[in-house]
Amino acid sequence: MTLASLLTEDQIISELVCSDRWQTIEEMVSRLISIGRLEEAHRGDAIAALCHREETMSTGIGFGIAIPHASCDAVSEVTACFGRSKKGIDFESLDGKPAHLIILFLVPRDQFQTHLRTLAAIAKFLNDPAVRELLNSAVDAAQILAVFEKKEAPKI
């Protein structure tokens, strides 16, 4: 499995409308529900798991990147959403700068190794300044997805 295989155009929000990290989590979870990747009945569980993780330690890793993630019973496989914010969202990142590229993912509770591999693959992929520039300059979801597909995203 690759990062690109976790995303479709529908799972990409090319311009987030939210203004803080909590709204970002809600907006991205809402997208997953609207496209059928997450059941409405699991909205509360997914948001609670993501917010609990975020309260434990911010998922803003710096360089304009945030990776909100959690393990929960709401999903049976890794489920992801990518969002971009040109204005930036305060995720209390390690470098104090706002996040512009956000990848949210949920992993089934019993898949600890998959969770770690997914997190590592995302961090490695977004560590490349050229990748970040391509994602920031893409005009729409199709171009964003193409970056994931063409840049040989690491396997999970």
Catalytic residues, by residue number, are: 69
Per the structure block, which two tokens stand in for 77?
A: 């496989």
Cβ count within 10 A of residue 141: 19
User: What length does the chain have?
Assistant: 156
Per the structure block, which two tokens stand in for 7?
A: 């995303």
What CA–CA distances, in Å, run from 141 to 15, 61, 111, 138?
9, 23, 29, 8
What CA–CA distances, in Å, run from 130 to 82, 117, 147?
18, 22, 10
